[in-house]
Each structure stands twice: as structure tokens, then as C-alpha cells.
Amino acid sequence: MIQLLKNLSLATSVVTQHLADDPFLLYLQAARRLPAVARPLGRAMSAGSPRNSVAAPVILAALSNGQDADVRRRLELAVDGPVRGEQARRLADIALSAGLTELSDTLLAKAANATRLKSAHARRLWHDGNLSGAVTALDASGPAGRRQQARLAGEAAVYSGFAPSLERQEFSPVPGRVLHLLTNSLPHTASGYAQRSHSIMVAQQEAGWDVLAVTRLGYPVQVGKLLARASDVVDGVRYRRLLPSRLAPTMDARLQQQAEELLQVALEFRPNVLHTTTHFVNGMVVRAVAQALGVPWVYEVRGQLADTWAATRGPEARDSEKYRLFQEREAEVMRDADLVVTLGHAMKANIAAAGIPDEKIIIAPNAVGGAFLQEPRGTGEARRELGLPEDGLFIGTVSSLVAYEGLDDLVRAFALLAPAFPQLRLLIVGDGVARPGLEEQIRKLGLGDRAIFTGRVPRDHTPLYHQALDVFVVPRKDLDVTRAVTPLKPVEALASARPVVASRLPALEEIVDEGVSGLFAAAERPEQLAAAVARILRDEPLRTSMGETGRAQVLLTRTWSANANAMAFAYRRVSGGMTYL
């Protein structure tokens, strides 16, 4: 009961802050987390509203349902119409949430007398990565603006070099103990990030290590899990939650708060090594704790998050203040870590290009374990157990549904294949911000009866969904982040003995052996994607041989137990040769 009260207090403070800072973004996040409620309500509102309505609730409903063309049309009506003042400011914020920056700028120009115009200007500048300009834009604002300014200034300070600091502690580590700091985790988040973290720790425990995971301050209450406990155990792995009743009001103060709380956990657990993952704020916190304890620490680079951020904004974002500072902080954290772990050769090359010595970097590729090591089932058996139609052919993916995954190109390829393969179905497993738009795209193509969107699925069902497919497709966009970062799901597909068709990107070329375990198509070319998929669909022996070869390759080179052994050697090296087992 005490923890529940703390969670309610924490959630209330988080929601209150978001309501004050950006209520439209809060609505969209809530709608995405509650699709079963939000989408039917949104569809009803859109259907019952006049076509020329520019009311904020109507446009928000269309945005949350993935009706991007309708959102743009209504905002363009507002730009051309008599909208002024506070209404224009509200619509400018909605346009910004939709990534329609030109429309946002035009609407802001029509909002001259809006009461919260400075706040809207600050959000617009922050969106572009102009951190200093956003903070300055709130000078001489009212109480709400001053609170927003303090919040933005705190975050800008973190990007500009602020770091938490702790006093040195008397400390005696216990050999064989590893403490992981994570951004999110099972059982509350079922992302590839959470699954990789869990798999690494399971393998470490199986190798005889004592492992403890700690998640970021406020998680998982911040993502709506009000009933979260102070700890969880999943497959024998212990997860500790840092859940105070309130968070410090600014990002710099929260990082200091998190470092102090993590230090207390570490003093109790007495790890010999600390291990954390991108992005750099995790590294800053762990660096402070490691320095206070006098133990080594490991920074695991799982993504290029500065490039992920820039990819949602366009090429000009790479010239922004935020992008430059983001890259500088990442390089700083990598330099300070005792060991840098990453996913593949393309990412290692990028890390080395930032000035990190080659001997300090090791590769621990995305891998498989558990159920993926067992003999895969046939498509019919897997579909029967999942309640899917057993007949016909299935193509699809298991993924986070975000823009850079390129699933809109998969839908276009499916539309090209559908006439030639009357029994072909599309299966998309997962959820994310792109899902409403993908469902709308399928509806407009008239293929709704042949496409299945499962949403999030139980973790133990994931292998079955891989096995239900005839061809697994990875249609990623061609971006800096996708060229470097190797995803987990195609590795799991190969372990499931399913051929993979993927965009021809360096990171994916590290996973798929062309002509042996799968095929490539040029990124963002649906017709080439369709041709590669069709070649495999028409040739059942090829499908079988590709699946069998891909599985054999993965089991030989990509298992979590092999990664655990490699990390054990590296941990011993950075800890001065101390015996772990």
C-alpha cells in the first residue's frame, strides 16, 4: 500500500508537469498507450465532425488514428482561414506534434496575441535542437513560462556538460557481482532493448555471476504502470526500481537524485563491475557511482540516439546545437568508460571514429537463447497455436512500429504482391507510434481482410510469431542510424529457420548472408522488396534451405551464452584480472 501511494504521488507529479509543458503531446502519448479506448473514440469523433472543422480535439483525434492526410488538410484549412490568437497557438502545437513544422510556423505567426505564445515558440525552437534559443525565448514570461524555462534549462545543462557528483565511499566489492543500470526492462516493456538486457543477464547468471538490474529513476510509473512494485524477478533475474514519491523538477537535478539512489543500491549489493547502456545520461550516472566506489564500469552502445533523434527531423537537424552536444556527450562517456561494448562492426567503426581506442571496444552481437535454441515448429503448427489461419503464405515482421523501420514500404510491397499471391497475408507483430498510420494505409489499399496487426504480444509467444511466417521482412529506411545499428528481431527470425528479406544496409549485411539465408533489396524501394519476397515465396526448396542455413549460422555465431563468455573475459581485464567465478 505504501508503494502504491508513492506511485500515485509520482504519477500525479509527472502528469501535472506534462499538462503544463505540452498537453497535446501528453494526449498523444496516452492515446498510444491506450489504443483500445483512444482509437474507437478518435474514429467516432472524426466521422462525426464536419469536413471543414479545425477544432483542436478533431485534429488530435485524426492524428492519434494515423490519419496524417486529414491532419494536414485540416491544418491547411486553419492556415487559410480566420484562425487567430490562442486557437492558432494550440493548432501550432498540434502541427509541431505531427512534425508539420512549416504549418506550425505559419500558425504561430497568426497567434500574435496568444497568452502562451512564448511557450509555443520555445517548444518550436527545442524541436529543432536550438536549446539555448528555447531557454532564452521564455525570458520575462509568467509563472508557467518560468517553470518551463527552468525545466528546459536543466535539460540544456545536461547536454552542455553537467554531470552528477558523489563523494568517495569506503567500499569493498564482492567478486562476481555485476550491477546493470537500464532505461527500461521486462516485464513492463517488451522492446528489443529490454529483451537484450534480460538475455544478457540470464546468460550471466547461468555462467555463475550474481546479477542485479536497476532501472532509471521513476520507471515504470512514468510509463503508466501505477501498480509497479519496488522489485521484480523475471526468469531469476532481479530488477530493482527507483520509485520515489516525487522526482526532482529538472533533468539535471533528477540525474543527481538518480545517482544518489543508485549509489545506495550499489553500497548494499557491492558489485565488482557496473554496466550500463546508451544513451549518455545513463553513462553519466554510472560514471559518478563507479568513481565514488572505485570500481570499473562498462558502457554498452546499442544505438546512435543522436542520429535517431535527427532522423525524425530532417538533414538540417545534424547542424543543430542539440545534435552537436549529444554527440560530444556520447564521445565523452565512451572515453571515460573502462570498456565499450557494441552490437556490430559498423557501430564499432563509428565508435572508433569518435576517438575511442580499438582495444577498448568489444562486439557482443544481438543473439538468441532460450526458446529460440529449440527446434522450430512448422508454419501450420505455429499458426494453429496462435489462432491464425493455417493455410496460405504469410510475410511480415516482429518489430517496434516506428518510422525508420520502413513498414510503410512493406505495406506497399504487400500491395504489389497481393494480386499474384491470392492467399498471401501480411502479419505485423508489435506496436508503436507508426501503427495507426500503417493501419490507415492498409485500409485505403483495400487489404484490411488480408493484414493482421497483433499489437504487443506476450514475450513467450514471440518465437511462435516468427515461426508463423514464411518470410521475415526488415524494410528499414536508409538513415545513419539504420546503416549502423543491428536489430535483434532478424537474428531471432533466422534462428527460427525463416529466410529474411532486408534493406541493403551495412548493419543488416552483418546479419543476412545474401543468397544463403536471405535476400536484399534497395532501401525505400517497395518494388524491389516485393520482387525479392516473391522469389522466395515461389521457391519452397529455397525457402527451406535458406531457413536451415540461417539457423545453423546463428547457432554457431550468435548466442547469449557466447556473449556472456566474451564479456567475462573483458570484465576480468578491466577489473585488474580479478577472478569472477
Retrieve residue 356's grid coordinates.
Answer: 575511442
Strands (E) across 448-517 are located at 451-455, 471-474, 500-503
Average pLDDT over residues 543-568: 96
Distance CA 91, CA 83 (A): 9
- Contact between 503 and 478 under an 8 Å Cβ cutoff? The reply is yes
Of residues 46 and 370, the one with the higher pLDDT is 370
Under the banding of pLDDT at 50, 70 and 90, the label for residue 66 is confident
CA atoms within 13 A on the CB side of 302: 22
Among 168, 166, 139, 169, CA closest to 153: 139
Average pLDDT over residues 561-578: 85
- Percent of the chain residues past pLDDT 90, beyond the cut: 84
Residue type at 345 in one-letter notation: H
State pLDDT tens for residues 380-411: 999 999 999 999 999 999 999 999 999 999 99
Mean pLDDT estimate for the chain: 94
Asked which of 4-13, 93-102, 143-152, 290-299 is least confident by mean pLDDT, the reply is 4-13
- Contact between 507 and 520 under an 8 Å Cβ cutoff? The reply is no
State pLDDT tens for residues 314-366: 889 999 999 999 999 999 999 999 999 999 999 999 999 999 999 999 999 99
Under the banding of pLDDT at 50, 70 and 90, the label for residue 47 is confident
pLDDT of 37: 65
pLDDT of 258 higher than 90 = yes
- Number of helices (H), then strands (E), belonging to the chain: the values are 26, 14
pLDDT of 577 higher than 60 = no
Greatest CA separation for the chain: 73
| Residue 260 CB neighbour total at 10 angstroms | 17
Residue with cell 504487400: 414
The secondary structure of residue 368, as a DSSP letter, is: B
Asked which of 1-15, 327-341, 428-442, 523-537 is least confident by mean pLDDT, the reply is 1-15
State pLDDT tens for residues 453-494: 999 999 999 999 999 999 999 999 999 999 999 999 999 999
At residue 538, φ and ψ (nearest 5 deg) are -80, -10
Distance CA 462, CA 492 (A): 9
pLDDT of 580: 38
- Contact between 151 and 249 under an 8 Å Cβ cutoff? The reply is yes
pLDDT of 503 higher than 70 = yes
- Would you call 111 helix, strand, or coil by DSSP? coil
Helices (H), 48-191: 56-64, 68-80, 85-97, 101-109, 117-127, 131-137, 143-159
Distance CA 137, CA 118 (A): 6
State pLDDT tens for residues 154-201: 999 999 999 999 999 999 999 999 999 999 999 999 889 999 999 999
- Would you call 573 helix, strand, or coil by DSSP? helix
pLDDT of 579 higher than 80 = no
| Residue 418 CB neighbour total at 10 angstroms | 18
Bridge partners (DSSP) listed for residue 14 = none
Asked which of 18-22, 69-73, 143-147, 518-522 is least confident by mean pLDDT, the reply is 18-22
Distance CA 324, CA 318 (A): 7
pLDDT of 40: 74
Residue with cell 516473391: 534
For strand 424-429 and strand 177-182, is the pairing parallel, antiparallel, or unpaired? Answer: unpaired
Distance CA 483, CA 62 (A): 32
Residue type at 322 in one-letter notation: K
| Residue 176 CB neighbour total at 10 angstroms | 20
Distance CA 301, CA 344 (A): 10
- Contact between 376 and 496 under an 8 Å Cβ cutoff? The reply is yes
pLDDT of 5: 87
Average pLDDT over residues 293-310: 95
Supply the pTM of this predicted model: 0.93
pLDDT of 49 higher than 90 = no
Provide the angle, in degrees to the nearest 10, between the axes of the packed helices 101-109 and 85-97: 170
- Would you call 265 helix, strand, or coil by DSSP? helix
Average pLDDT over residues 508-532: 98
DSSP, residue by residue, 279-346: SHHHHHHHHHHHHHHT--EEEEE---HHHHHHHTT-GGGGGSHHHHHHHHHHHHHHHHSSEEEESSHH
- Contact between 210 and 573 under an 8 Å Cβ cutoff? The reply is no
pLDDT of 16 higher than 90 = no
CA atoms within 13 A on the CB side of 435: 25
- Would you call 500 helix, strand, or coil by DSSP? strand
Distance CA 204, CA 10 (A): 33
pLDDT of 581 higher than 50 = no
- Contact between 513 and 456 under an 8 Å Cβ cutoff? The reply is no
Of residues 27 and 123, the one with the higher pLDDT is 123
